[in-house]
Amino acid sequence: MSESESAAAAGRLIAVELDEASIRPSSRDVEHERAAAIHDLLEDNGFSPVGHPPGQYRLGLSILDGRLVFAITDEAEKQVVTHVLSLSPLRKVMRDYFRVCDSYYAAVRSSTPQQIEAIDMGRRGLHDEGAAILRQRLDGKITVDSETARRLFTLICAFQRNA
């Protein structure tokens, strides 16, 4: 385990809340995707705001003026720190990820297992790219392990996804 992953493992998220005003209108499937992303994130994560003691944290995600807001509180819901990140570095990979996900869902209904696997490999590659960009953007602000970055990227995509 790397040093940053060890540090993240000392802290964790115990709650994630999405700002209702920031959520785009969506289908029941997208709503399910959001709920699953939050569940997966809370099941296993390593999350520590830089400069704060390891502990259990709550994360509020919202969009303000086209920027992603990470509002972090402690267990007692006392404000710890808020970070505002531009979505610009993530927009292209998110757009590509949505496109490949749509192709994957269509392929599941009508393609061969080999075709589905090829599309899924592309989807996973874009997912990894998005998680790496997110980790870079959080560097020096919030320490997250690789899997938490992947889960956060999934949640941000589900948060931004239209029906």
pLDDT band at residue 162 using 50, 70 and 90 as cut-offs: low
Q: How many residues does the chain have?
A: 163
Question: pLDDT, tens digit, for every residue of 133-153?
Answer: 999 999 999 999 999 999 999
Give me the pLDDT at residue 4, please: 44
Domain hosting residue 38, numbered range? 3-160
pTM of the model: 0.86
- Number of domains making up the chain: 1
pLDDT band at residue 163 using 50, 70 and 90 as cut-offs: very low
Residue 30 burial (C-beta neighbours within 10 Å; 0-12, 13-18, 19+): middle
Q: How far is CA 6 from CA 17, 47, 61, 75, 144, in A?
A: 25, 10, 24, 21, 9
